[in-house]
Amino acid sequence: MPPSTNPRPPSRPSRPSHRSTLSLQKTEITIHVYDLLPPGKLSNALWALGTSLLHSGVVLNNKEYAYGGHDRPNLTGVYWTKPLTLPPGGTFRTEILHGFTLATEAEIDSIIRKASEEFLGTSYNLLTKNCNHFTSYLCEKLTGRPGPGWLNRAASIGVALPCVVPREWIEAPDFETHGNSGGGGLLEEESGDEYGEGSRMLRGSDEVPRLVGQEGRRWEGEGNNTHKGKGKARDEEGRVLPRAERAPTS
């Protein structure tokens, strides 16, 4: 008589673990940082001290989200561009891996939509509600941690000590000029690329910035004196916005 054997329990169908299911939803959150001061000793010194005038954008799923000001009521100032699109007069400084989010694509879209309602173009303020405040806000909503505080150190100093902060710390140069032109013609006018903050595309790119929720429109700047030189966009306290601080509007 053959020896008895213990019967094996019936096998259960394998199911993916909770951890592996969540890992499929993980999305990288990256911050791109740009220096808005002209390259040189001043900008290098301020960068080393952590007090430079900076622009930042949050990269999600191959789109870089940022915030700029404009004069259109009830219209968001949040827009997206191709990652590493240089703002007018800006220089790329660094990339920061801020973290990851386990939110689904639909949840991420909802967070961005709510942020776009919170950050209207007419609410833009160079010192208290700028592109770096938006970066910090969006990072916190996505990961539970705000963006690095040093991104807005110059603005924080400007709020605390407005009388001693150099103008260049809160107002980047409005235009770049030709080195071989006595009058210094405007590069942006020559190229015809007159969008807002983060608007000047890298050479050879045919993409333009898109306001969140307005992706079906192509922003040509027609009829908008903000970008045609007929007027100057201002923040909510009346400070003139450099082109690097303007969102695209039509």
Are 197 and 70 in contact by the 8 Å Cβ rule? The answer is no
Q: Give residues with Cβ within 8 angstroms of 127, minimum separation 6.
A: 155, 158, 159, 162, 170, 237
Q: Give the C-alpha separation, 4 to 19, whole Å.
A: 40
Pairing of strands 63-67, 27-35: unpaired
163 counts as catalytic: no
Which of these, 211, 200, 197, 201, lies nearest to 244 by C-alpha position? 197
DSSP β-bridge partners for residue 57: 32
Choice among 32, 55, 133, 227 that is catalytic = 55
Instruction: Choose, from 131, 133, 139, 227, the residue flagged as catalytic.
Output: 131
Q: How many CA within 13 A on the CB side of residue 176?
A: 18
Q: For residue 13, how far is the Cα from the chain centroid? A: 46
Active site residue 55: yes
Q: Which residues are known catalytic residues?
A: 55, 131
